[in-house]
Amino acid sequence: MCGICGIINFNKEKIDREKISSMVQMIKHRGPNDDGIYQFNNFALGSTRLSILDLSTDGHMPMFSNDKRYVIVYNGEIYNHIELRNELSSFYKFKSKSDTEVILAAYQKWGKKCLEKFNGMFSFVIYDHDTKEFFAARDRYGIKPFYYYYDSSIFIFCSEIYPIIESFNYLKEPNNQSIYNYLIFNKTNQTSDTFFKNIKKLQHGHSLSISNSIIKINKWYNIYDKLDNPIKSSDELKDLINDSINLRLRSDVSVGASLSGGLDSSVIVGNIYHKFKKKDLHTFSAIYKQNQIGDETVFINEFKSILSNMHYAKPTAESLFMDYEDFIITQNEPVPNTSAYAEYKVMESAKDIVTVILNGQGADEELAGYKYFFGYYFKELLIKFNLPKLFQELTKYISIHKSTYGLKAAIYFMLSSRLQSAIYIYNKNFYNRDFVNKYKKLSTIPDTIFKSNSLQQSLIDHFEHQFEHHLIWGDRSSMKFSLELRFPFLDHRIVESTLPAANELKINNGYTKNILRQASKDIIPEKIRLRSDKMGFETPEDEWFRKPFFKDLIMDTISSSSFSSRGFIDKKIALKMYNDHLLGKKNISQEIWKWINLEIWFNKFIDN
């Protein structure tokens, strides 16, 4: 796990050493154990290293192949590196035990097809001294980031955006289309665009090559080509999960786990404890006051009888007020709510205890864990005119969840893209009309996220166009504290077998993630296994934003001349809405957070 960066000058001019050194230092938190630079002719590659596998200097980067033909900078983990090393040992003489060298050997043996061999998370750049070609690639689902800028004279890349714009100040320009999608739809990271007009993100499952100053981008992983072997039983899923966890426990440093109190993280913790006998496992959780929104203490404590190393982060209004600037800077781009802050605090609580943390992200996206997936399922049943099943599932849903949200979601998903956008915009009349009218027609969100006609298609669309933001937020928060996050549910074998699985294995009798509940019998407490509510990483932000110190900050922000000059938000309506929030007449905490976050982001990243 590391940070990478680089500069390629197409005009054949030598790179300023100070420039690349500065970029390396700006991502030092991603790799505090080692760093290095390779400079040759018209390019420079930089790396910082968080030592996870092979803690010796043999793992130093940039790393060269035995014949010095190839050089790599790399961020991530290849979990099946041992198996690949054995497969490659007759072809390549290894000098280290690092997975970095395995990538080099694999590339030398199989070329760009090596990507299909990797089970892991990665972004890397390899330079071939013979062909003078650069090859960059990103993992299947977008766990590890890769940002870049290019024009006719230069190509710049980095694991984070900040070092690029800080080193090349002329790139500080906001992307108003991304801001529109953020403010109206609460969405980020759904395309290659970022919040910076000039900075792009290499999409998940894509590779990039540069030869003779020509850049080509290729989609090396297509999820639609991998859905021909659906899982059929809970025993199959159990075996896959165990194997995935086993691979992700490979480490030369200490390993812990997130424990939210929900089904997914509990399955991971339960398996580590019962299957792999890690009795000294350290877990990390976010908790709040009893009965506060977001508090999962009652479920987390179900593990107290078997775990003795349970650690708790306690995000509060006071802590957020102290941290908000650092948190916003850490994220590089605005985030639409404070749930990412809770994860940030969990990472902070783990930084002096472990170096690797296993996380439950991914199961909701594979097995329809979010409530709105009921809407897609109901829509599919209606389209197929399977009315008996629709009535059965609707009845069970309403009985268990005491809600009509799933039905409302189904109705919404049946509407045209134009109507879907109109509903979002209508509910957000505090945004400037000119701004909305200018960017609403260019938004791709309704057509890429809301138009699925089946449950399976909605899950695929989620993976393709929406899921990545969780991974990016987690990467930034964990790497801020020099931690590595690993995701057992994102083993590609699990993803590729659960997405095409029968609907009944996902949603059944009003419950989501049906097959995972079956697979976790006798592994996790029944109170968690049979939970019907879906909490997520929620925070009591509505309460927080009524605190006097936040009132002053929010009022000052909305009233500032810079806030008005952006042209996004009607200040008068925003002030009235916040007053209603203070009086408890409504909860607009998510909008409040977006206003604060966006304005501070402008102050920190654009204006200075």
Give catalytic residues, as residue numbers. 2
Tell me which residue of 107, 133, 109 sits closest to 43, measured CA to CA: 133
The pair of structure tokens assigned to 410 is: 């189904």
CA separation, residue 227 to residues 91, 175, 270, 504, 549 (Å): 32, 35, 28, 17, 52
Number of CB atoms found within 10 A of residue 471's CB: 24
Q: What angle do CA 420, 423, 425 make, to 5 degrees?
A: 110
Crossing angle (nearest 10°) for helices 263-274 and 234-248: 70
Q: Give CA–CA dist 234/211, Å, rounded.
A: 48
Residues 179 and 194: their CA atoms lie apart, in Å, by: 9
DSSP letter, residue 14: P
Residue-by-residue DSSP string for 26-89: HTGGG-BTEEEEEEETTEEEEEEE---S--SGGG-SSEE-TTSSEEEEEEEEETTHHHHHHHHT
- 3-state DSSP assignment of residue 480: helix
Residue 312's SS3 state is strand
The answer to whether the Cα torsion of 418, 420, 422, 428 is positive or negative is negative
Take residue 228 and report the two structure tokens written for it.
């021909």
User: Half-sphere exposure of 421 toward its Cβ, with a 13 Å CA cutoff?
Assistant: 17
DSSP 8-state code for residue 403: -
Q: What is the identity of the amino acid at 496?
A: E
Q: Which residue has the tokens 């496992």?
A: 281
Report how far apart, in Å, the C-alpha atoms of 182 and of each of 268, 279, 341, 527 are. 32, 43, 17, 36
Distinct helix (H) and strand (E) counts, the chain:
27, 17
Cα–Cα distance for residue pair 446/413, rounded to 1 Å: 9
Cis before residue 540, ω within 30 degrees of 0?
no
Q: What's the CA gap between 406 and 401, in Å, rounded?
A: 10
Q: What are phi and psi of 378, to 5 degrees?
A: -65, -40
Residues 6+ apart with CB under 8 A from 422: none
Extended strands (E) in 203-358: 206-211, 214-219, 255-258, 282-286, 309-313, 356-358
User: Are the CB atoms for 178 and 194 separated by under 8 Å?
Assistant: yes
Strands across the sheet containing 200-201 = 34-40, 43-49, 2-9, 154-158, 147-150, 200-201
Instruction: Evaluate whether 485 touches 75 at the Cβ level (below 8 Å).
Output: no
Q: How big is the chain by its Cα radius of gyration, in Å? A: 24
